[in-house]
Every structure is written in C-alpha cells, then in structure tokens.
Amino acid sequence: MRKSSKPALIIALVLTFCASFAAQTPAPDPQDVADGMRIWRTKGDCQSCHGWAADGRKMDTQMPDGANLRTSRLSRAALITAIKCGRPGRQGKPRPFGDCCGRYLDAFASTPAPDAESLMRSRYSAFVLGRADYLLATWHASTRPDSLVLDPAQRWLGLQVKAHLPLDDAHAEVLFVARSRDASGRATRLTERSRFVRERGRWFYVDGRIG
C-alpha cells in the first residue's frame, strides 16, 4: 500500500514559507549594531544595571538591579520614558511621559506636582531634558539661585527613589539616588536627601544633604 505524502508536503510548505519570510526580513545594518553597542557600553552605561548581555546580571554591585531586557522588551519610547522619569506604571511598565512627569513640566501653572516625591521626579526629568526654567520655578525662593546653567554633555542614566518621608502637611523629605555620566565618560552616583516645602498648594524644593 502506498504511504500518504501529506506530511512531507506540509513540511515542505512550512519550510518554503519560513524561507520566504526570512528572505523578506532585512538583516540589521552592521553599523547600527555597532553604534548601539557603543551607546550601550559607554554613553548610557546600561550594562552597569542590566549586564553586558542585557540579561539583568548587573556589572556594578552598587547600582540598582536592572531588568532582563531579553525577556522584558521595551520600545524605544518606553526606554526614553524610563530614563526620564524612572517611575513604573502598572505591571512594572514605564508610564507614558505625559501621564508621569511630563504633565508637570508642560503645564506648570495649572498642574502642580501633588507631593514631594512627584516634584522630585519631575525635577529629575527636567535635568534630563535640560529644563532649567522648570528647575528654577520649582526651587523655593529662600534658596533659589539667580540663574542655573546645565551641562549639555552630562547624561543622566537613571533615578531610584529610596524613600518619601512626609513630615507634616507642608514639609517632606525624599531620599534618592541619581546616576549620570559627564563628557569624559566618568560616572557619578549622587545620593541625596532633599527637603521640600508646600506653600499655597504647591511644593517647592528647598535644599538637600549629599551622601
């Protein structure tokens, strides 16, 4: 009795489809891969938290634990949001910037940060974006400098809020760690306990104690 050729035919069709799909999928540009690796290792210092292979095995024990990006993949927009704000939304995914800190920066007059932690995170976002105007506007008049010049070569790498400590209805402190890298490539890890005060329904940064 003649054996059925249907299984062989199905396998052949699947292999033909896969080959056709692979042919239609463009190979990554080697220059794009090289540029991405350079940014990963030097500009962003991503491997310090996420590991050189992006598998979550950090290379710097003093840095926060990074996600395994091989299993938890973020879009380009989500990565930018995470770096700007550092505040996860539901299911650990970064919030859209407009729903997180962007609304406070873009609508300062009508949308004040509701608490000290939110203000602190929005001020970090302002450093990332080079928004000296927002930093000055949210700085209490008693300690605010006359002007503020930000270094455009400084790259902010991440924010971790350790504690939000409300003291009363009008005073609070926020303990945080912020990481950055200067133009020479030197990485800095800033630990600060910041003081905030609430006046006329709006929170302001007063000062901070380093270390």
CA atoms of 168 and 148, how far apart (whole Å): 30
Residues of the chain with pLDDT under 70: 1-27, 32, 35-49, 52, 59-67, 72-99
The total number of structural domains that make up the chain: 2
DSSP-derived 3-state class of residue 41: helix
Same-domain status, 160 and 115: yes
24 located within any domain: no
CA atoms of 95 and 157, how far apart (whole Å): 17
pLDDT for the residue numbered 90: 46
Across 22-39, b (16+ Cβ under 10 Å) vs e yields eeeeeeeeeeeeeeeeee
CA atoms of 170 and 109, how far apart (whole Å): 19
State residue 157 phi and psi, 5-degree precision: -105, -20
Identify the burial level of 101 via C-beta atoms within 10 angstroms of its C-beta, where 0-12 means exposed, 13-18 middle and 19 or more buried: buried
21 located within any domain: no
pLDDT for the residue numbered 21: 45
CA atoms of 5 and 69, how far apart (whole Å): 44
10 located within any domain: no
Same-domain status, 116 and 206: yes
Domain extent for 68: 31-73
Same-domain status, 114 and 40: no
Same-domain status, 101 and 122: yes
Same-domain status, 40 and 109: no
Residue 83: closest CA among 23, 137, 43: 43
78 located within any domain: no
Same-domain status, 92 and 168: yes
Same-domain status, 133 and 35: no
The one-letter code for the residue type at 49 is C
Same-domain status, 100 and 185: yes
4 located within any domain: no
Same-domain status, 124 and 205: yes
pLDDT for the residue numbered 59: 66
Neighbouring C-alpha atoms within 13 Å toward the C-beta of 49: 19
25 located within any domain: no
20 located within any domain: no
Same-domain status, 105 and 191: yes
**Distance in angstroms between the alpha carbons of the first and the last residue of the chain:** 84
Same-domain status, 162 and 90: yes
CATH, residue 173:
3.10.450.50
Q: What rounded mean pLDDT belongs to the chain?
A: 77
Same-domain status, 122 and 178: yes
pLDDT for the residue numbered 24: 54
Whether pTM > 0.75 for this model: the answer is: no
Name the H helices within the chain.
Answer: 6-24, 30-38, 47-50, 76-85, 102-106, 116-129, 132-137
pLDDT for the residue numbered 133: 95
pLDDT for the residue numbered 150: 94
